[in-house]
Amino acid sequence: MSITLTDQDTHTLRTAAWGAVSLMTAAGAAGSPHKTATEGSIALTSATGLVGHVLAKAPKGLSAKSTAELADQVLPALTASMSLLRQHAPAEADNFRRTVIVAIEATAHAQKGEPSPTMAEMARKITEALDAAPPGGADSEAVAKAAGQDRPELQKVIQEMVDSGFVGVTLRVRDERGEWVGSAGVGELGGTEEPPADGHFRIGSNTKTFTATVVLQLVGEGRLGLDDVVADHLPEFGLDRRITVRMLLQHTSGVFNFTGDYYPEFVPGVVFQGREWVEGRFRTYRPEELVRLALSKPAKFEPGTDWSYANTNYVLARLLVEKVTVRSLGEEMRRLILGPLGLTGTVVPDTSTDVPEPHAHAYYRYEEDGQEKVADVTRQNPSWISTGGDMISTTADLATFLSALVGGRLLPAPLLAEMCTPESKAGYGLGLFVQDVPGGGKVITHNGGITGHAGLMYSTPDGRKTLTASLNYVDDAALSMGEPFQKATQRLVQEVFGGGQAGSADATAEPAQ
């Protein structure tokens, strides 16, 4: 999918974005207007894709206007820009909105202390103007259906996934042809409607990538060091002093996985399967409780000498963030990622049990008195997994997040390079996998699953092509959907990133448990 912009269209987009920065600068003029304008301008000129090309140059005629005159010109231009892009290039509409939000956030942060009430009010008006365009639902569906005629190979793959046993699948691909969104199966057992294209779902271990990004952002702020001794920050747990922040993010600490681990025989941890879990799925666990459970078991290996995936590492990372910032991980996530990127569909639930509407349903199969039962487990208290896999998001937000991350919008280049440098055993960097794809090249990825919901998240290293997907299915203690899950991810990676070539992609899908 492509879009041809007229000179007037280009002027409208520039007026809208650069005008938003000018409005924020005017609203904060009592502080440091030059710094405010500079920070906003940097954010605009850092945009990628078509939007980045258009916004690289500022329009003429904005600075001479009064604030009222400027608002009368800019606010309608913001709405018009969103309407234009939603109709012709939905992915670029998301990019434009995100870019403007990042720019006005940058102008607000340029002020000393909290933004003034005047700036906060102007930010609200700008956001309302962006969101005043006709909802993308109907238009997006029409675009997706039209695009679907050009991408039958993608629709075929997700239908095959449903045929293999998944209840429903939604796939979103953003690449040089634009954005394609398709669904197959149903959102609810016994229903007839497909999973919602913009549906929320539990993303499982994709949470780890978000969490690692927050930790690295704090490193970038100078509040942590990758080689800091974790025990110095969290002395209450008696951790091995050889364990560093880097080892937590890379799963090389050797700590026991509190959802169960192998020595090589399996040693159980917190209950997350069977009838006992179904009946107790609204119980609250505190992260400290999960860590103490893990530390009551022997370490798997000496810190830094091997690799083993352990949810405990990321619960420790959560506690580390909260100790250093004296704020909840959710608050830091909103400050550093969700707010700047405009990820309104992403939630850090902590102990909250609900998944926002719209959403597909998640299920769990178990045995009771010799009878097989299937429970709807969409509602559950995810504190049993905590930062190992508790977050909720959408395929659009995951695509936006991963593209921004690998595209360099969230981390300084040296820290992004550290994040994307994999260890040798599993190809795990700091909160993500780096994998080869059929036909050459690599993808940056992290997948996740949590009791009936799963998420896929892939990107090229430059962030220009992304694949995100949500799956809903009937889970069970035998993880019977594990093999179909692996085959499906391999097939999708081959189709989107490998040109449909036959071969094998190590599409590791690490479930939360």
**Which of the residues are catalytic?**
205
**Amino acid (one-letter) located at 486:** Q
**Amino acid (one-letter) located at 483:** E
φ/ψ of 164, rounded to 5, equals: -80, -5
Q: Report the half-sphere exposure of 159 (CA within 13 A, side-chain side).
A: 7
* Residue 117 CB neighbours (<10 A): 9
The candidate with the shortest Cα–Cα distance to 79, out of 136, 38, 34, 41, is 136
Element at 375 (helix H, strand E): strand 371-376
Residues 29-61: b if buried by 16+ CB within 10 A, e if exposed: eebebeebbbbbbebbebbbbbbbebbeebbee
In the three-class reduction of DSSP (H, G, I as helix; E, B as strand; rest coil), residue 56 is classed as coil
Pairing of strands 433-436, 392-393: unpaired
- Beta bridge pairs of residue 91: none
Whole-angstrom Cα distance, residue 496 to residue 401? 19
In the chain, what is the greatest distance between 2 CA atoms, to the nearest angstrom? 78
The token pair at 318 is 């959560």
Residue with tokens 């069977």: 274
Element at 170 (helix H, strand E): strand 168-175
CB 24 within 8 A of CB 36: yes
231: CB partners within 8 A, 6+ apart? 237, 238, 239, 240, 241, 243
The candidate with the shortest Cα–Cα distance to 50, out of 123, 116, 99, is 99
